[in-house]
Chain A
Amino acid sequence: MSTTTRKIVIAGVMGAISIFLGASHLGFIPWLAGAALTIMHVPVIIGAVLEGPVVGLAIGLIFGAFSLLQAAIAPTGPADVWFTNPLVSIVPRLFIGPMAWLAYKALKTTNEALSLAISGVVGSLTNTILVLGVLGLYRFLPWALIGTIAVTNGLPEAVVAAIITLAVVAAWKRLESGRRSSTI
Chain B
Amino acid sequence: MSRRTEFEFLGRVTIGQYLPTGSTLHRLDPRTKLLVCLLLIAVVVASQSLLGIMLLLGAVLVGLALAHIPLSFALSGLRTMLPYLLLLALLQTFAIPQYAANATVLWRWAMLTITDRSILAGILLIARFSVMVLGLSLFSFSTTTTELTHGIEHLLRPWQKLGLPAHELALTVNIALRFVPIIAEEAERLMKAQASRGADFGRGRNFIQRTRKLLPLLVPLFLVSLRRADNLIEAMEARCYLGGKGRTHLIHLQAHVADYIALAAACALMALVIGLSTANADQLLWRLLSTYL
Contact = CB atoms under 8 A, between A and B. Distances in A.
Contacts of A39: 218
Contact of A13 (B128, B132, B176, B208): B176
A156 interface: yes
Interface string B6-17: 000110011111
B45 A29 contact: no
Interface of B: 9-10, 13-17, 41, 44-45, 77, 80-81, 84-85, 87-88, 91-92, 95-96, 98, 121, 125, 128-129, 132-133, 135-137, 140, 168-169, 171-180, 182-184, 187, 202, 207-208, 210-212, 214-215, 217-219, 221-223, 225-226, 228-229, 232-233, 236-237, 241, 243
A131 B233 CA distance: 34
A113 interface: no
B178 to A, nearest CB: 8
A33 interface: no
Contact of A20 (B168, B187, B212): B187
A179 interface: no
A20 B183 contact: yes
Contacts of B221: 17
A84 interface: yes
Contacts of A139: 92, 96, 98, 121
Chain B residues touching A, majority SS: helix
9 contacts: A13-B176, A16-B177, A73-B133, A73-B140, A80-B81, A86-B41, A142-B95, A163-B208, A168-B222
Given A23-B15, A24-B10, A73-B136, A62 B217 contact: no
A30 to B, nearest CB: 6
Contacts, number: 193
A62 B173 contact: yes
B168 A4 contact: yes
A4 B167 CA distance: 11
Most A CB contacts (10 A, CB to CB) among B10, B169, B175 go to B175
Contacts of B87: 78
B228 A140 contact: no
A37 interface: yes
Interface string A81-97: 10011110000000000
A137 to B, nearest CB: 12
Contact of B84 (A12, A78, A141): A78
A6 interface: yes
Contact of A81 (B85, B187, B214, B237): B85
B211 A73 contact: no
A46 B223 CA distance: 11
Most B CB contacts (10 A, CB to CB) among A6, A84, A168, A172 go to A84
B212 A163 contact: yes
B171 A13 contact: no
A46 B221 CA distance: 13
Contact of B202 (A29, A84, A87): A29
